[in-house]
Structure 1
Amino acid sequence: MARIKILFIIPSLEEGGAERVLVNLLGKLDYNRYEVDLCVVENRGIFFNQIPEQVKLITVFDSSLVCKILVNFHIRFNINRLYKWIVNRRIPGNYHVGISFLDSSFTDILFFLDNKISKRIAWVHSSYQTYHNFGKFYQGAYKDRIIQNRYSKLDHIVFVSNDSRQEFEGIFTCKTLKSVIYNVLDTEKICKLSDYPIDEKFDDSIINIIALGVLLPVKGYDLLINAALLLKNDDLKFKIRILGNGYLEHELLSQIESLDLEDFVELKGFHINPYPFLKQSDIFVMTSLSEGLPTALGEAMILGLPVVVTDCSGCRELVAEGQYGMMTNKTAEGIYHGLRTMINNSELREFYKQKSRERAEVFDDDAIMEKIYSVMDY
């Protein structure tokens, strides 16, 4: 029986939750059933060596500047002749199914390939209403254009959460088939990697708090640092480690230094294996302003950490309005109150540890993969 030929498209393999999820998905795929090409639009990222050997890698742009210029002309003026020509030269094959795994303007590549793809799918990892970076673009004539030329012409749109789907439908009106499928997190791999040794000593006499994610405004780390000052002023014994890279690094470091929090908040940079840090921590905190379905939060729940999260899309869904984790408002004071309550109450931490383990059952890899297969089958 001939294999189904699949093309996955992703903007890059830089640090990020969607990129980690794609690596997990590719690691779980049945390659007796599927022949897979992966198109990484911009040839950059840290996950290339984690792509299974069965997957053929394709890159479109070696220059980020060239990519940015061509994409801007496409978005602003609908001028894309050169863009299409480059895409078709770099992706010469034919596919039963094409999947834009991180929906964006790059989803249009599925249509640049014209009759080379029979079935087109987009995976939506974001919440388009509450994340202002998206909302400011998806309006007016451009919104009308992508409804007509992108979303209405897709065969299927997959959302990583119900929140993500609801926000999408609040902006875009189309009759395209839609599904919600939670992310593949690879529970077995997370648990195995969490036992790896690390060169980091955790002080058991204090409460160790961990946050994980790219250093971007949407992650709300400035709020977390301000909350840490309030915790310090209460004479609480704690340390917050933030794992991740991003362009806000120097700004956040300056904030930590100006508030004299060097002993209480530490930026640890990106770690290809963050799971030992998670496992050795007492509390996981996520202070995002918007999420689709936060990968790091799901991973923390798999490892049984009690969680404190802001009341935002994605987080709200995973903790079920506070049933499986403590939910705070999106302010430094709200985050402070949530963390202070969790720090001061060991019984509450134990309660939410159990709740995290219960909630982690939604990340049944086999069940999720079967849903993905049902979407990809041609």
Structure 2
Amino acid sequence: MTEKKKILIRIGSLRHGGAEKVLVTFLKNLPQDKYEIDLLLNLYSGKYLSEVPNWINILYLNKGEMITTNRIQDIPQKIYRVIYQKLLKKFPKLLYQGKLNGKKYDIEFAAIHGMRDEILNSPLKNSKKIVWIHNDLTQVKIYTNEEIRKFFGFDKIMVISEKIRETFLNLAQNENEQQKIEKIYNPLDTEEVLTKASAPVLNYTFDHTIPTFISVGTVFPQKGFDRLLKVHKKLLNEGFQHHILIVGDGYDFENIKNLKSELDVDNTATMLGFTDNPYPYFEHSDFYILSSRYEGFPTVLFEAITLKKKIIATDVSGVREMLKDGELGLIIENSEEGIYFGMKKALENPEHFNPYSENLKDYQIPFSLENSVNTIMRILDEL
């Protein structure tokens, strides 16, 4: 019996984001006889905690939900968390000797790009280090080329789309750095998506006499829900009756909710919050709309493709690859005008979407859950 590889995986929390879901899907499909895994969270919270297999050891720096408000009573706890986490980041030996009991890991794994420095500054000099990049970092202000180059300190850089791969290839300075880059499609359990889509819709009534546009994602500025609501208002003013359904939660939830009221569209736009199963809402909606300002590889589009939805998506990283350059859905300019153009086309000329539906009928997603998991396991085993 070969000894199990000891792996430390780090992520902020297991809240309801794409990277968190992808990580948990991956962990659920790993064989437990090969690896000994410690999953270290900055914050012990999130909807996906209950889905982590029980053989994986969950550790955390702080407990409780993320504090997204500035209420007076929350400020001391917020300050304590920030100081404590910054202290452990600055003096990693404290973390490794204390919380991690001086354990020696074979592999240290940053499950999101935000954990780069925590893993690269690990006192374990002999461990192999991996990072999983889920976002197009060229669209994130703080990531200059110089900042992105720091990721070459890892032994492997796993990227989830062709655009992100090209970003890193262009910044690689030698063949050794090029070989660190590995493109892996996000693990998506298509069978689970199809099964869950047949469940009943809860807490929402669809009006099938007018079109419904659904958008699903963590509610923060990247996702462009503010743009979506402004376009919704403009189209209503022009006499185009339709509904907007936003499924998801996040730190910007209250802001978007307030914007919805300011625009006076509370009767035609619904924010459902987080749900464990968004797929029945997909199933009953007429159009799926991705209004994002930037992405890495929006897995949610693969879910929409799996459910054969009529898709409108801003031209962000991953979209051309996923929609086969516009064969499977309408790709629009990444702007408020682009969103307006796409939605107006859907309302004014719905038959424009018929060819996409035809192309989707027999379309098979170009990867499987098994392939993605096997590729990541190969990387773990070769390191």
TM-score bracket for the superposition, by shorter chain length: 0.7 to 0.9
The structural deviation recorded for 1:224 is: 0.7
CA distance, structure 2, for counterparts of residue 60 and residue 87 of structure 1: 12
Inter-CA distance 64–295: structure 2 relative to 1 (3 Å threshold): farther
Q: Would the aligned equivalents of 1:301 and 1:357 in 2 still touch at CA under 8 Å? A: no
Q: Give the secondary-structure state (helix, strand or coil) at the position aligned to 1:14.
A: coil
- CA offsets per residue over residues 7-51 of structure 1, 9 Å max, x none? 221111112000011111111112233332212122222211111
CA distance, structure 2, for counterparts of residue 257 and residue 326 of structure 1: 29
The structural deviation recorded for 1:356 is: 4.5
1:104 to 86, 91, 114: 114
Q: Would the aligned equivalents of 1:156 and 1:178 in 2 still touch at CA under 8 Å? A: yes
Inter-CA distance 355–96: structure 2 relative to 1 (3 Å threshold): farther
The structural deviation recorded for 1:156 is: 0.6
CA distance, structure 2, for counterparts of residue 190 and residue 113 of structure 1: 41
Inter-CA distance 357–13: structure 2 relative to 1 (3 Å threshold): farther
Taking structure 1 as the reference length, what is the TM-score of the superposition?
A: 0.87
- Give runs of aligned pairs for residues 117-136 of structure 1, distance below 5 A: 118-132=127-141, 134-135=142-143
CA distance, structure 2, for counterparts of residue 338 and residue 358 of structure 1: 24
Number of aligned positions between the proteins: 363
- CA offsets per residue over residues 215-247 of structure 1, 9 Å max, x none? 211111111111112321332232110111223
| Aligned: 1:68 with 2:82 | yes
Consecutive unaligned residues of structure 1, counting only runs of 5 or more, are none
| Aligned: 1:194 with 2:194 | no
Q: Would the aligned equivalents of 1:229 and 1:261 in 2 still touch at CA under 8 Å? A: yes
Q: Would the aligned equivalents of 2:10 and 2:41 in 1 still touch at CA under 8 Å? A: yes
- Give runs of aligned pairs for residues 113-262 of structure 1, distance below 5 A: 113-115=123-125, 118-132=127-141, 134-135=142-143, 138=144, 143=147, 147=149, 151-169=151-169, 175-176=176-177, 177-199=180-202, 200-262=204-266
CA distance, structure 2, for counterparts of residue 162 and residue 322 of structure 1: 16
Q: Which moved more, 1:182-191 or 1:231-240?
A: 231-240
Inter-CA distance 121–66: structure 2 relative to 1 (3 Å threshold): farther
CA distance, structure 2, for counterparts of residue 100 and residue 40 of structure 1: 11
Inter-CA distance 161–67: structure 2 relative to 1 (3 Å threshold): farther
- Give runs of aligned pairs for residues 298-313 of structure 1, distance below 5 A: 298-313=302-317
Inter-CA distance 56–72: structure 2 relative to 1 (3 Å threshold): closer
Q: Which moved more, 1:191-200 or 1:152-161?
A: 191-200
Q: Would the aligned equivalents of 2:168 and 2:181 in 1 still touch at CA under 8 Å? A: no
Taking structure 2 as the reference length, what is the TM-score of the superposition?
A: 0.86
- Give runs of aligned pairs for residues 329-348 of structure 1, distance below 5 A: 329-348=333-352
The structural deviation recorded for 1:309 is: 0.6
Inter-CA distance 108–250: structure 2 relative to 1 (3 Å threshold): closer
The structural deviation recorded for 1:119 is: 1.9
The structural deviation recorded for 1:354 is: 4.3
CA distance, structure 2, for counterparts of residue 354 and residue 108 of structure 1: 47
- CA offsets per residue over residues 295-321 of structure 1, 9 Å max, x none? 212211111112101111222332233
CA distance, structure 1, for counterparts of residue 245 and residue 352 of structure 2: 21
Inter-CA distance 21–367: structure 2 relative to 1 (3 Å threshold): same
Structure 2 partner of 1:23: 24
RMSD over aligned Cα, in angstroms? Answer: 2.6
| Aligned: 1:33 with 2:34 | yes
- CA offsets per residue over residues 144-163 of structure 1, 9 Å max, x none? xx84xx53332111001111
CA distance, structure 2, for counterparts of residue 238 and residue 297 of structure 1: 21
CA distance, structure 2, for counterparts of residue 125 and residue 358 of structure 1: 28
Q: Give the secondary-structure state (helix, strand or coil) at the position aligned to 1:182.
A: coil
Inter-CA distance 342–360: structure 2 relative to 1 (3 Å threshold): farther
Inter-CA distance 8–355: structure 2 relative to 1 (3 Å threshold): farther
